[in-house]
Structure 1
Amino acid sequence: MNKVEVLIIDDEPQIRKLLEITLLNNDYKVFQAETGKQGILLAANHAPEIIILDLGLPDISGHEVLLALRQWFNKAIVILSVQNTEKDIVTALDNGATDYLCKPFRTAELLARMRAAIRRYQNIDNKEHLLAFDDLELNLISRTLKKDDIIIKLTTTEYNLLALFAKHEGSVLTHQFILKEIWGVGNQTETQYLRVFVGTLRKKIENNPNQPVHIITENGIGYRFQ
């Protein structure tokens, strides 16, 4: 079985070494770049399954690298950065980052986020129409949802919102991105729409809507589906 290839783009030798040891011990194949330009070149030459990208690079910013990669790279990109302001996180996610993790980080959480990010793009590649998440099963062709094998009735908006979440499993989706995708560009500031529909959706799919396990709130940023 071929190992999943990971490209690390980070200028800190200690971080690269920590990531290399962690990833090799978890059966990944690792490539490393210490500048943005070198990272873009390695991504083009090796076509990794996932890229771990720092924002604070010595030659060009990680945001620039992300934008450059997203012109052609259609796999997972996880931001791993000390920059933890809401603006940096939202900008990166809106520019195409699959996920965002702040330094210092827990290796177990990073590995879990990586697995979710990789699965997301594998699902897209395989054109899967049946998405299963623990007790939930979403059929993208019949537009139906089952919970514990029982069909759950959803409104059109609830279904569209859940399908958007499911297709981006494990990724943080910003309020603005969700609003644009579901309600259109003109409604990107109407966060109340989103809160209401997330609330009704949680009542239908969560065992305890007050302690959700599927639709997770990322405070000040958006939501993550898992």
Structure 2
Amino acid sequence: MQQTINFAHRGASAYCPENTMSAFCHAIELGATGIETDVQRTKDGRLVLIHDESLERTTGDSRLVKDVEYQELVRLDAGSWFSSSFAEERVPLLEDLLKLAKDTELIINLELKNGVVPYEGIEAEVIALVQSYEMGDRIIISSFNHYSLVLCKQIAPQIKTGVLYMEGLYQPWEYAKSIQADALHAYKFAILPQWVQEAAENGIVYHPFTVNEEIELEQLIGFGVSGIITDYPDRLNHILKRSERS
């Protein structure tokens, strides 16, 4: 039986500023077997890892990612908002994470942030970069923009996709199959054990987000989900190791 994938949400974001190289490296140290992160594009076409469309919350710059060239973006302090000890952190490039992960067994979940800002063509650009690192078999592309997931499958059918959604989809595994998606990236409260089982019978797996409390982590492992997205990869690692021993 394959062990539940321990996806560190934006890296080890409970302990480090989210979506930074420190967060990704620390996630590995804490036992993560996967990294979840967010992809956007700068004004001059560089693929960067940041959640918000605006730079305000994590760098203090009021502009949007899409309006800033990479050479400006890379000078911004992306760590001090979290702690002064992270003042040297920068917004990383997607290729920075791919370089870090290439010689590991990490599964990388790339969420395309192309709902508010459409980022036309980002699907092909992300896939091309992933394939240049020969990592297509360890990538899951997710998005709340499901048209984008369909396009990803048209470009590269072998790369896995995950349907992000918040609540109440009826028989979401049937919907996933209709767009050739491989996984359901459901909000943690949009899951019941019988749904996990029925999805599995239809070849679709669950990777719920964002699950941080031990009781919820244990419950979802009991449901049989294939992966969990968490800010605390150490907590999930501890629970998984404990369940292995029992």
**What's the TM-score once normalised by structure 2's chain length?**
0.30
Structure whose residues are more often strand by fraction: 1
Structure whose residues are more often helix by fraction: 1
State the structure with bigger RCO (CA 8 A, min sep 6), 1 or 2. 2
**What's the TM-score once normalised by structure 1's chain length?**
0.32
